[in-house]
Structure 1
Amino acid sequence: MQPVIYQPLKGAKRIKVFIPYELFALREAVKQMNSSFWHPHQKLWSVVNTKQNFESLKSICGKHCKIEKDIAFTPIPSVPLNDNAINALHDLEKALVLKQYSSSSIRIYKKMFSVFLGKFMQRNLREISKEDIEGFIYELIKKSKISESYQNQIINAIKAYYEHALHMPREYYDVQRPKKTRNIPNVLSKDEVLKIIQAPKNIKHRAILQTIYGSGLRVSELINLRIADVHSSEGYLFIKDSKGKKDRKTILSEHLVLLLRAYYKQYKPAYWLFEGQTGGQYSATSIRAIFRKAVKETNSNPWATVHTLRHSFATHCIENNINMRHLQNMLGHNSPKTTEIYTKTIEINNKTITSPLDSLLKNTTLQT
C-alpha cells in the first residue's frame, strides 16, 4: 500500500493524508509536523491547509504517493416552489409555531422540507408513500452524498409535516433512518482547559468561557442567561428553556462567582448576563471567535469547539467522582444513557488505573 494525500477542497481548513500502518518512519515525520492531528474514526492524519504544508507532505511521502480528490458534498439544486409547495411550507411553519418550536428549529425544518418539496411539489402530498420518501432519501445519499446528520434532519422535517400539519398515521412517515454512530465526544485535558479559559485578557471573554466550562453549558444557554439566573448565595445557575424546553439548575463555581462580580462591576449589564456592545444578547458567533482565539493562542487541540468545554466539564466531573444522577440533572439529559457516554472519555493511563499485571508482578524482579 502507498500513502495518499487528499487534495483539499476550496475553503477546507485541513489537508488529510492516509499512511499505511507499516510505514512507521513516514508516519512519525507527519506526526512531527506543526498542527498534525490523528482522526481515529477516519484512520487519517491531517495538517492545517497551507501551500507549504501540502508541499511538505508531498516531500515526506515521496514520489510514490498518490494524490486524490477529497470527497465532497454535492450541492442539491434549488428549485423554485409552486403555489402548492409554498402552501405546504406555510402549513408546516404554522404547525411548528403552534407547538412552540424555536425560531432556529423552524428555519431548519423549512429549509429541509423545501428540498423534499422540490421533488414532490407536482404531486398530491397526501398520496406520497413511505416507499416514495425512502426512494427520495436513497437518491440524496447516492447522488449528493448527504451526511447522516443531513439525512436525519430531512426525515425530521418530513415527519413534522405529515404528523403535525396533515395529522396522518405514523406508517406514512416512519422511514428508515441511518444507523446511529456511537462517537466518543472530543474532550480537552484539564491542563488544556485551564490554559484556554485563562487565555483571554478581556474579563468578559474570560467570564464567558469559564461560565460555559464551570457549569457545563451549551452556547445557546450561555446566551440566554439573565442576571437573575445567577443564584450566588445558593450556589447554582438557573437555566430556563434549555434544549427540549426544559428548566434546570446547574452548579455555580465559587471562583466563577468572584469573576462574575468583578465582570458585573466593570460592564454593568442591564438584563442579560452577557450583552453585546450595543445591548441585547451576546452572539454565538462572537463566543466562537473568543474560543478559537484562545485555542490558537494556547496551541490547544485545533479540533476543539466551544461545545468541547461542555464535554470536558462532564468528563472531569466523572473523574472527580460526581454522582451520575447529579451530573445528568446538571447537563439536562433526559436519559442516563446519554450521560453515561462520558464514562468512555475518561483518560486512561497508568496514573489513573493500575494494570493487573502490575499487581501480579509488584514484588517480583524484572527478568531480561
Structure 2
Amino acid sequence: MALSLPSSAGTSAPKDPAARPDMSLRRKRTRHRWKVLAFLSPWLIGFSVFFGYPLIATVYFSFMHYNQIKSPTFVGLKNWKYVLEQMPLFGPALWNTIWLVVVMVALRVVFGLGIGLLVTKIKTGVGFFRTAFYLPYLAPPVAATVAFVFLLNPSTGPVDQVLGWLGIHGPTWFNDPHWAKPSLVLLSLWGIGDLMVIFMASLLDVPKEQYEAADLDGAGAWTKFRFVTWPSITPIVLFAVVTGVVQTMQYYTQALVAGKIASGVSIGPGSVVQPGYPDHSTLTVPQLVYQLGFQNFNTGAACVLSLVLFVIAMAVTLLLMRKGAGLIPAED
C-alpha cells in the first residue's frame, strides 16, 4: 500500500518576521521626510522663485542677445567678451565697487564698534546718545544723500564754512574725483546706527565675570578687549562684515543720487543723466547693470555684470567664513 504525502499546493512559505518591522520603519521614515518637506516648503518655494529661477534666468540671458522686445537669440560668449574686453566703463566701475567694499565696510565696522563701546561706557544721558547716533540711519537713503550733499556743498555748505573759519581750505567733496568716494564713505559713517545697535547688544552680552577676573589679574583696557571682548563678539563682527560686503556690492542709490545732485543737472520726466559724476568716480557696477538693462536694453551684458558681482560676492563671503581666516577660530 503506497503512502500518500500531503500536498503542498495550498500552502505558502512562512513569512520573515523581520519584514514587517522593516516596512513599518520605512513608512515612518517616509512620513517624516514628507513632514520635513511640508515645513520647508515655504522656504523652498521662496528660494526657488526669488533666487533659484532669477539666477538660472540670468545665466541663460548672459548667452543671449535680448532687448526685452524681440525673442532672445543665442550669441555664445559675445556678451562676456564685450563686458570683459570691450566695455570701457567696466574697469572703473569694478574698481570703484571694490574700493567701496574694502574701505567702507572696514571703516563702518571699526566706527560702529567704537561707537558701541562708547555708548556702553556712558553712565549719564545714554538714552540721548543712543537716539542721536541711531536717528540718521532712519532717514530714507535718497533724503539722507540729498541733505549730505548740501552739507558738503563747496560754496554754500556749512561744513566748508566752518573749515574756513578755522583757516582750512576744504575740498570740493562730491565735485572732486579724488574726494567723491571718501565723501560717500562719510555718508555711510553718518548712518552708522544699525551697526551701533548690533555691536552694543553684543558688548552688553559679554559675561561680566570675565571682566572681573581680568581686573583681578591686573589686565588693562586693551588686554581686556583683546582677550575678553573680542573673542565674545567675533561672530557679530563676522556677521557685520559679510552683510556689509553683500550690501556694498549692491551700492547704487546713494552714489547715483549724490552724483546727480552734485553735477547740478536738473532731473525731470524723461531726462537721462549719465551716472558716475564726477569723472566716473562714483560709478558702480549696479549702476552699469541698470544702465545697460533698462536704458540701453542690452539685457545680455547686464546679466553678465550681475553674474560677475555674484561671483565676487560669493568668493569674498566664502573667504571670510573659512575657518582660520581670522574671524572664525580655527579650532571651532
Please confirm whether the aligned pair reaches a TM-score higher than 0.5, indicating the same fold: no
TM-score normalised by length of structure 1: 0.22
Relative contact order, higher structure (CA 8 A, sep 6+): 2
In proportion to residue count, which structure has more strand? 1
Structure with more helix by fraction? 2
